[in-house]
Amino acid sequence: MSEPKVWSRFSAKSKDGKVLKFRIEAMTDDRKEDLMNLLMTYFVPEESMHRGPGIPKSPEAMAEILEVYKDLWSVKSNQNLTICVSDDETESRSELLGASLIALETREEEKTHYNPITEVIKKSIKVYTCLATKYNVFEKHDLDEFYNGRGVVVHPKCRGLGIAQEFLRVRRLVCKEHSIPMTGAWMTSFGTQKAAIRDNWETVFEINTEDFGKEVGVKFENVPPTFLYMIGRCE
């Protein structure tokens, strides 16, 4: 197996003063199980569009969403998935410390429809679909294609070290390499909103979280007062 493409190398100082080295690289097939563990342990239980409708509280929904993510990774033609690992050369196989997924969306693309099994997943899809209709990137920015964010997750032990911000910077590098004008994402957590602001992403639309929750029948907890759609332009 060839070595994965390395998008970035950077360092950060931990709370105890130790300098930690990281790299962000392309996801490879041998990391699939590690990725699923990271998603199911931290991303799904914490991400607003999953937590709000109650996916983490339903074993059946958790099992279904796991299969959804497995299938998502198997269809890679329009996706770009990067991971963060330690860049310590003494480690033979570094632990997966974070992941970022974007998908190329085109104006003329025919949307695929997933038929959910559990009621909780069905509700989650309706919530996300409603949110997605609030801002039409193609019309607002006169684009034919762009990279849309599908999620960022960072292991709790490495949060606060700039990994999420670096993932967002790499998303713009991916755009540049593939001649895509911009990337965008709904930022629905305090962490991703802060990371995007630090990386100079622009807020182009926002919606009051409480009002949106009432619209879709979901009570969002521990979320920012507004959900933001933010964009990062190709450098």
Predicted pLDDT of residue 15: 86
Q: What is the mean pLDDT of the chain?
A: 92
Paired tokens of 101: 């997924």
Region 3-32: mean pLDDT is 92
pLDDT higher than threshold 80 for residue 89: no
User: Using CA atoms in the order 111, 169, 164, 76, what is the torsion angle rounded to 10 degrees?
Assistant: 30
Q: First-to-last CA distance in the chain?
A: 31
Angle between helices 119-132 and 209-216 (to 10 degrees): 130
Predicted pLDDT of residue 78: 78
Quote the CA–CA distance of 105 and 80 in Å, as a whole number: 12
Which CATH number is associated with domain 6-233? 3.40.630.30
Region 176-195: mean pLDDT is 96
Region 84-106: mean pLDDT is 86
Q: How many CB atoms neighbour CB 37 within 10 A?
A: 11
Predicted confidence (pLDDT) per residue in 50-73, tens digit: 999 999 999 999 999 999 888 877
Report whether 32 contacts 66 (CB < 8 A): no
**Most confidently modeled range among 56-65, 66-75, 89-98, 101-110:** 56-65
Predicted pLDDT of residue 234: 83
